[in-house]
């Protein structure tokens, strides 16, 4: 029989962090009855940033989207995210391009201070069409468009004192010129206590809805934590009437802001930018464990993009390279992201993917753990040995992930009673599809150095 003792797990108390959340809930409660957060399962897609930095072009977006349509859409991959600086005239600098004195280069912007795609990089956006032509092309492929935005209002709009759409207020009335990003000089924060501030965010998302945007990654907003602007963005999404996934970045998101991110965001970063090195991957185990109680429909802790394949063709970090993570380490990454139900966003150039890398993205049994499991939690951590488990909805089966962070291959002992099983059970390796056989009391899988195994455990039917 399956034991129920493992159903017990630590509980994070979800207290309202401020009166703002109560006001937010009262404001949107009626709309939310018809408009629930979009991400009922972890979003799966491609983001241009880790390969193209600040300079992705429309043709490159469509090339990667075409690959996704042909090779990945049937496996659940659907979001195509245009990374940051899409309004920056090409060629942009490889990493965090700054706007120079005199607001040069000048960013394309409408009369309401809303940034528009750079037409030399996104030619279909000409004549004020914005991203709608690109969104239409993606939608015809059965895919969805996402865009990256920076928190706040453009400094260029404040200098021009543009009108805020639908109001008598102007950019200078709402800008907080003391609130700036530490690594980017394009934006000022918005003082949400000023009249016209919410209307500004509403106007942004009205525009994105008109374009057909399905996913918005809001940057410079969760670390440091900008609570009032997060609430404003969620309110603006509801006001727009178009379902959009809201992703908050970068991390580490503060754990004491659980109530805000759960109510407002579909996903939020648990870390700073994840890099293609072993130390960055090791750190992710503890970070995801800290957030495991918040994994569920409409709210997914985000371990950042999957650093697989060709990275940094034009930034953001280092020279062009194939991921420095070994294939064994990539399996570990995919296993951890899957058992912890992190969103899956491919960061490399899909058009140059190799078959072993593609197979990591096409394993239906592994992807089912990411998309369909429940009650995901760390079972134990003994120095370099880590195990996570999760329920298989609609059955008594259990998913089990076993990790070896050490420098040598080893047998990792698993007490099946701790997993939740008494009596004989069968175990299937989800990466290979092999049935390992019948087990009772314990199992000791061999795990490679820096490696992972992923299993489904079920009662053997004779």
Q: Where in the chain is the domain with CATH 3.20.20.70?
A: 5-372
Average pLDDT over residues 456-460: 88
| Residue 459 confidence (pLDDT) | 84
| Residue 30 confidence (pLDDT) | 42
119-140 pLDDT, tens digit per residue, is 999 999 999 999 999 999 999 9
Rg for the chain, CA atoms, rounded: 23
365-421 pLDDT, tens digit per residue, is 999 999 999 999 999 999 999 999 999 999 999 999 999 999 999 999 999 999 999
**What is the Cα–Cα distance from 67 to 346, expressed in whole angstroms?**
12
| Residue 315 confidence (pLDDT) | 86
**What is the Cα–Cα distance from 223 to 434, expressed in whole angstroms?**
43
**Percent of all residues in the chain with a pLDDT value above 90, rounded to a whole number:** 89
| Residue 358 confidence (pLDDT) | 98
Q: How confident is the model at residue 8 (pLDDT cuts 50, 70, 90)?
A: very low
Residues 6+ apart with CB under 8 A from 282: 405
| Residue 22 confidence (pLDDT) | 53
**What is the Cα–Cα distance from 79 to 64, expressed in whole angstroms?**
11
DSSP run (H or E) holding 150: strand 144-150
Mean pLDDT of the chain: 92
Nearest CA among 348, 402, 424, 388 for reference residue 48: 348
List strand residue ranges (DSSP E) for 151-309, in order.
153-154, 175-176, 187-190, 215-219, 245-248, 267-269, 300-302
Nearest CA among 358, 353, 349, 352 for reference residue 56: 349
| Fold classified for 5-372 | TIM Barrel (3.20.20)
| Residue 461 confidence (pLDDT) | 52
**What is the Cα–Cα distance from 75 to 158, expressed in whole angstroms?**
45
| Fold classified for 378-458 | Immunoglobulin-like (2.60.40)
**How far from the centroid of its chain's Cα atoms is residue 20's Cα?**
25
Nearest CA among 347, 375, 435 for reference residue 2: 375
| Top-confidence residue, 351 or 459 | 351
**What is the Cα–Cα distance from 225 to 335, expressed in whole angstroms?**
29
Token code pair at residue 382: 């003994």
Q: How confident is the model at residue 37 (pLDDT cuts 50, 70, 90)?
A: confident
**Residues making up the chain, counted from first to last:** 462
The answer to whether the beta carbons of residues 298 and 261 sit under 8 Å apart is: no
DSSP run (H or E) holding 274: none
**For 336, which DSSP code?**
H
DSSP 310-324: EE-BTBSSSSSEE-S
**What is the Cα–Cα distance from 115 to 361, expressed in whole angstroms?**
34
**What is the Cα–Cα distance from 196 to 354, expressed in whole angstroms?**
50
| Residue 9 confidence (pLDDT) | 43
Q: How confident is the model at residue 35 (pLDDT cuts 50, 70, 90)?
A: very low
DSSP run (H or E) holding 180: none
Average pLDDT over residues 68-77: 98
**Percent of all residues in the chain with a pLDDT value above 70, rounded to a whole number:** 91
158-212 pLDDT, tens digit per residue, is 999 999 999 999 999 999 999 999 999 999 999 999 999 999 999 999 999 999 9
| Residue 3 confidence (pLDDT) | 52
**What is the Cα–Cα distance from 63 to 189, expressed in whole angstroms?**
35
Q: How confident is the model at residue 345 (pLDDT cuts 50, 70, 90)?
A: very high
Nearest CA among 116, 101, 143 for reference residue 350: 143
Token code pair at residue 209: 């809805």
The answer to whether the beta carbons of residues 3 and 420 sit under 8 Å apart is: yes
**What is the Cα–Cα distance from 57 to 82, expressed in whole angstroms?**
9
Token code pair at residue 200: 């500004």
Q: Where in the chain is the domain with CATH 2.60.40.1180?
A: 378-458
Q: Alpha helices of 241-345 — where are they, by DSSP H?
A: 258-264, 278-290, 327-339
Nearest CA among 94, 59, 63 for reference residue 353: 63
275-326 pLDDT, tens digit per residue, is 999 999 999 999 999 999 999 999 999 999 999 999 999 989 999 999 999 9
Sole residue written with tokens 């809201």: 246
**How far from the centroid of its chain's Cα atoms is residue 41's Cα?**
12
**What is the Cα–Cα distance from 387 to 419, expressed in whole angstroms?**
10
Q: What burial class does residue 29 get, using C-beta atoms within 10 Å of its C-beta: 0-12 exposed, 13-18 middle, 19+ buried?
A: exposed
The answer to whether the beta carbons of residues 265 and 248 sit under 8 Å apart is: yes
């Amino acid at each position: 029989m399956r034991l129920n003792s493992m159903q017990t797990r630590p509980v994070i108390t979800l207290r309202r962090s401020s009166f703002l959340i109560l006001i937010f809930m009262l404001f949107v409660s009626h709309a939310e009855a018809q408009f629930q957060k979009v991400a009922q399962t972890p979003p799966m897609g491609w983001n241009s940033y880790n390969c193209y930095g600040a300079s992705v072009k429309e043709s490159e977006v469509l090339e990667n989207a075409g690959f996704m349509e042909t090779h990945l859409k049937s496996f659940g991959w659907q979001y195509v995210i245009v990374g940051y600086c899409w309004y920056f005239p090409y060629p942009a600098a490889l990493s965090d391009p700054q706007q120079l004195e005199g607001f040069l280069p000048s960013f394309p912007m409408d009369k309401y201070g809303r940034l528009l795609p750079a037409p030399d990089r996104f030619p279909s956006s000409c004549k004020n069409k914005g991203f709608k032509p690109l969104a239409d092309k993606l939608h015809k492929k059965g895919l969805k468009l996402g865009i990256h935005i920076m928190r706040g209002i453009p400094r260029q709009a404040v200098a021009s004192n543009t009108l805020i759409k639908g109001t008598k207020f102007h950019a200078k009335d709402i800008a907080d010129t003391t609130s700036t990003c530490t690594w980017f000089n394009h934006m000022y924060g918005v003082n949400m206590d000023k009249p016209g501030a919410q209307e500004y965010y509403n106007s942004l998302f009205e525009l994105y809805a008109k374009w057909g945007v399905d996913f918005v990654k809001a940057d410079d907003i969760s670390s440091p934590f900008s609570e009032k602007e997060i609430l404003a963005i969620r309110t603006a999404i509801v006001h727009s009437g178009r379902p959009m996934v809201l992703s908050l970045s970068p991390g580490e998101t503060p754990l004491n802001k659980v109530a805000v991110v759960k109510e407002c965001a579909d996903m939020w970063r648990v870390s700073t930018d994840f890099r293609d090195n072993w130390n960055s991957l090791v750190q992710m185990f503890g970070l995801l464990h800290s957030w495991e109680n918040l994994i569920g429909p409409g709210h997914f802790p985000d371990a950042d993009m999957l650093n697989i394949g060709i990275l940094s063709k034009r930034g953001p970090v280092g020279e062009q390279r194939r991921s420095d993570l070994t294939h064994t380490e990539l399996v570990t990454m995919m296993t951890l992201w899957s058992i912890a139900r992190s969103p899956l966003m491919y960061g490399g150039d899909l058009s140059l993917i190799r078959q072993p890398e593609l197979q990591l993205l096409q394993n239906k049994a592994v992807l089912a753990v990411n998309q369909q499991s429940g009650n995901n939690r760390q079972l134990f951590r003994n120095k370099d040995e880590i195990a996570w488990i999760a329920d298989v909805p609609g059955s008594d089966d259990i998913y089990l992930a076993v990790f070896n962070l050490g420098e040598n291959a080893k047998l990792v002992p698993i007490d099946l009673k701790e997993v939740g099983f008494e009596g004989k059970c069968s175990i299937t390796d989800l990466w290979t599809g092999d049935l390992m056989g019948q087990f009772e009391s314990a199992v000791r899988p061999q795990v490679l150095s820096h490696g992972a195994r992923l299993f489904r455990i079920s009662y053997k039917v004779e």
